[in-house]
Amino acid sequence: MVLEHNDRLVRVGVTSSEASGTYAVEDAFELEMPTRVLGLDEAGEWLMMIADNEGVDHPVVSRMAMSRSLQGLAFVDEWCISVRKKKMSQLLLVHEMAHLVTANGGHGREFRTQVVTFVRRYVSLAHAVRLHEMYVAAGLSVEPFAATK
């Protein structure tokens, strides 16, 4: 029941094609330029560092049974991120963290811009540039890329 509730929250105000496009780009990006895979404890520490740098509360990271179509979920009300597997990519984690810190809970322009910003700050400039290019090539709106953000 909680998963269904959160799935609706994640998609508020966003067309399903926009969310699907965002997922498709991120899947292709991970195949082309994989990000590090972290265990649950390391993921929690990494997100704690990001939260400190961003001036937000530390999210709780936990493992949870969920549909095979889902890799992770952000629960804004509980300020937590739940993941399906014991190990997860940095991209998955910043994707969910972006849900926590953006005002619009969907997968729109603000969200994608935040994902690119987090990838730039916490993964690498090369990864951020390529992710931004892939969003744009797919026709997904995103703020212009700024290497110094």
Residue written as tokens 């603000």?
110
**Model pLDDT for residues 11-51, shown as the tens digit of each residue:** 334 446 888 999 999 999 999 999 999 999 999 999 999 99
E strand or H helix at 45, and its extent?
helix 40-54
Task: Please give the Cα distance from 134 to 27 (Å, whole number).
Answer: 11
pTM of the model: 0.86
**Model pLDDT for residues 65-113, shown as the tens digit of each residue:** 988 888 999 999 999 999 999 999 999 999 999 999 998 778 999 999 9
Domain residues of the chain, as ranges? 2-137
Backbone phi and psi for residue 3, each to the nearest 5 degrees, phi listed first: -60, -45
Task: Please give the Cα distance from 29 to 144 (Å, whole number).
Answer: 18
